[in-house]
Amino acid sequence: MDITVNILLTIATAATPLLIAAIGELVVERSGVLNLGVEGMMIMGAVGGFGAGYLTGSPWIGLLAAIALGALFSLLFAVMTLSLATNQVATGLSLTLLGLGLSGMMGTSFVGQPGQRLPNLDIPGLTSLPVVGRLLFGQDPIFYISIALTAAVMWFLFKTRTGLTLRSIGDSHTSAHALGIHVIRYRYLAVIFGGACAGLAGGHLSLVYTPQWVENMTAGRGWIALALVVFASWRPWRVLAGAYIFGAVWIGQLHAQAFGIPVPSQLLSSLPYLATVVVLVLISRNKRLTMMNTPASLGQPFVPDR
Amino acid sequence: MMRLELVKRPQRSALFSALSPFIAFLLTIIAGAIMFALLGVNPLSAFEIYFIEPISQVWQLHELAIKAAPLVLIAVGLSVCYRANIWNIGAEGQFILGGIVGSMIPVLFPQFEGPLVLPLMLLLGMVGGAAYAAIPAFLKTRFGTNEILTSLMLVYVAQLFLDWLVRGPWRDPQGHGFPQTVQFNDSAILPELMPDSGRANWGFVFALVAAVLIWILMSRMLKGFEVRVLGSSPRAGRFAGFGLNRMVFFAFLLSGALAGLAGISEVSGAIGQLQPVISPGYGFTAIIVAFLGRLNPLGIVAAGLVLALTYLGGEAVQSALGISDKVARVFQGMLLFFVLGCDTLIHYRIRLIGFAAPKLEATPKLEEAR
């Protein structure tokens, strides 16, 4: 029983950063913007979170720094694609490349240093309950944030007027503009929200998952988060399910490596990436469904005519 | 609040089309100066170490050519993709597969020598890269899968595959346990161009030839026209009878083959054996090269040399000033940002709207009318 609980806990820890980054990107894409810089914003969050935690001694300050740095970094993307109407694919790519370089440079002095870890929740009486205690009341704080965030985004997108407006912008920015909606302003806020989420996801990696700084420690998770949004056909609860499936794959291959299964470890390590490809193929096979769900103005630059 | 407003130009500006890479480079230098100052280094001396010293001697120019060759080879292929609005960002993986497949001959048949070895290796390298690129192309045309994500995921798979090969089945048994293959025999080594003055090899010639051939293809042949039409207006392309699916395969196979050629040239030229890591991110940096070169093969040659210099400069500041060589990555990223930003000037004029927007003076005029 204990082993099962432990495995479930590690799956949750592996799924949390994917979930947060993907939920953020989902909001961005629902507004019609494709930000391929998730990996870059995430690694900036990771280095910022680790650095601030290490320098101040407080993982909570690290957490805030991770969010702030992710948001700040996404602002760069927003200015480029929204105010200057640059190509979103190329700009997102350059955000990732810049983030990987910048984080590597900023983190040079952090390599090998002990990090700060966010403490797990501990409620006397509840956390010590058998089985469910640690699953429900004993996880790291970002886990709870991730679940709350998913619920909040679901509510926001589908139950509020602002959410409806955001979705309408994603489906037709010209119509939204004609109705007098500030397309660019909404998109700025969406992109910054996505950046904050990616930063938080990166902070989870360096403050909870492995409290240390390793170059390129995101290891493609930002890209997997992007794939999750497609896999989920832009629906928050499906992102949640997808993130946990991928968390399970990630943990499963680690456990398989630890058990010494007679398969090359590199093959096991490549499973999350191969799984991403397979999942994308399965979901895009149904072309009508994908067409129906994809925000219609996704990735198209918008310049308001005046 | 102050904001930017874009005003569409009636036609693209030829002036800014030519100037924008230079403006971008200038902005990168300014941003780089600020960065060096923040790091507590005198920007002027840092720039001298970064941009001047690495190319002040002849043998160093050879090193520049070695770094530029794979960048140019990959980038001219990618430029065709991006012109056609097809997003192959997995060139790094195709580079690695080209290196692996091309190395099959010297690793598996080390006794096979002679003048046939090298051409076969290069051919196999191109086949390997093209075959690996065919996967995202197939998935896109058959299932409509997003090629950005699949081609990128395959990079990680390729890296792990290479890692497995050189630590497992292809490891040199006499290599003292080091994760590397046997040293290639002489006939499997790409010859140097001018051995008296430096290490530059035929890879650089391949890059120049590829750039010229792709330039001819894009500007003088029907296929190039097809690429441009499908890229700017797929609908118009369909009316002209150009097939989008065929174009996806064409662009991926071409760019994959060139990336594969770059991979095997790097392995048989600069390295001489397979190692766990054979590329310092050439496949990704080539994306920057393609854009800095304005997706024009001849511009790409110049851009490739600039980006090659950022690699050499990064190594130079690391050894001279103790700054992480990741500074090269930062320079490359900033350069791409500024290039993309400056490209806006080609199609738009930028107007700054200040805090106090001019108010419409309607009321007094109305009164006058009365």
Distance between CA A190 and CA A172 in Å, rounded?
16
Which pair of tokens denotes residue A232? Answer: 């989920």
Q: Is A36 on the interface with B (CB under 8 A)?
A: yes
Distance from CA of B28 to the nearest CA of A (A): 12
Are the CB atoms for B74 and B282 separated by under 8 Å?
A: yes
Domain range summary for chain B, segments of one domain joined by +: 23-314
Listed residue (A241, A225, A233, A239) closest to A276, CA to CA = A225
Average pLDDT, chain B: 88
Position A63 scores a pLDDT of 94
Q: How far is CA B274 from CA A266, B1, B167, B201, in A?
A: 17, 57, 10, 18
Test B146 with A276 for CB contact under 8 angstroms: no
Q: pLDDT per residue over A75-125, tens digit each?
A: 999 999 998 889 899 899 999 999 999 999 888 888 888 888 888 877 787
Question: Do A105 and B324 make contact, defined as CB atoms within 8 angstroms?
Answer: yes
CB-based contact B198:B59 (threshold 8 Å):
yes
Place of tokens 């904050």: A196
Do residues A34 and A92 lie in contact, with contact meaning Cβ atoms separated by under 8 Å? yes
Mutation pick from A280, A283, A291 vs chain B, by most beta carbons of B within 10 Å, is A280
Q: What are phi and psi of A230, to 5 degrees?
A: -65, -50
Arithmetic mean of pLDDT, A226-247: 92
ipTM metric: 0.89
Query: How high is the pLDDT of residue B235?
Result: 84
Say which residue the tokens 């990618």 belong to: B78
Three-class DSSP category at B192: strand
- Show the tokens assigned to B332: 């490359």
Using the Cα atoms of residue B113, residue B119, residue B120 and residue B126 in order, give the sign of their dihedral.
positive
> What pLDDT shows up at residue B94?
97
Q: What is the pLDDT of residue B355?
A: 54
Token couple for B368: 């006058």
What pLDDT was estimated at residue B364? 44
Please answer whether residues B170 and B274 qualify as being in contact, where contact means their C-beta atoms are separated by less than 8 angstroms.
yes
Nearest chain A alpha carbon to B168: A264
Give the integer Cα–Cα distance in Å for A295 and A297.
Answer: 6
Start-end of H helices in chain B: 14-38, 43-47, 58-83, 91-102, 104-108, 117-143, 147-167, 203-220, 222-232, 234-239, 244-266, 282-292, 297-321, 327-347, 362-369
Split at pLDDT 50, 70, 90, the class of B363 is very low
Please check whether residue A49 is in contact with residue A249, taking contact to mean a CB–CB distance below 8 angstroms.
Answer: no
Residues in chain B with CB shorter than 8 Å from the CB of A108 are 324, 326
Q: Quick check: B149 and A226 CB within 8 A?
A: yes
Report the 10 Å Cβ neighbour count for A57: 10
Higher-confidence position of A127 and B108: B108
Residues of A in contact with B6 (CB under 8 A): 83-85, 303
Band of pLDDT at residue B354, cut at 50, 70 and 90: low
Domains for chain A: give ranges and CATH numbers.
Answer: 2-118+125-293 (1.10.3470.10)
- Which of the pair, B55 or B135, is modelled with greater confidence? B135
Residues paired with residue B7 on neighbouring β-strands, in sequence order = B349
CB B20 within 8 A of CB B342: yes
What is the pLDDT, as a whole number, of residue B103?
Answer: 95
d(CA B104, CA B170) in angstroms, rounded, equals 9
- Please state the rounded mean pLDDT for residues B275-302: 92
pLDDT at B365: 43
Compute the mean pLDDT over every residue in chain A, rounded to the nearest whole number. 90
Q: State how far the Cα of B294 lies from the Cα of B260, in Å rounded to an integer.
A: 23
The Cα B326–Cα B342 span in angstroms is: 24
Positive or negative: CA dihedral B64, B65, B66, B71: positive
CA B109 to chain A, closest CA, distance in angstroms equals 24
pLDDT for res A260: 73
Largest Cα span, chain A: 65
The token pair at A288 is: 């009508």
- Taking alpha carbons only, the member of B243, B216, B241 closest to residue B298 is B216
- A153's enclosing H/E stretch is helix A141-159
CATH architecture of B23-314: Orthogonal Bundle (1.10)
Interface test with A, best of B81, B156, B163 (most A CBs within 10 A): B156
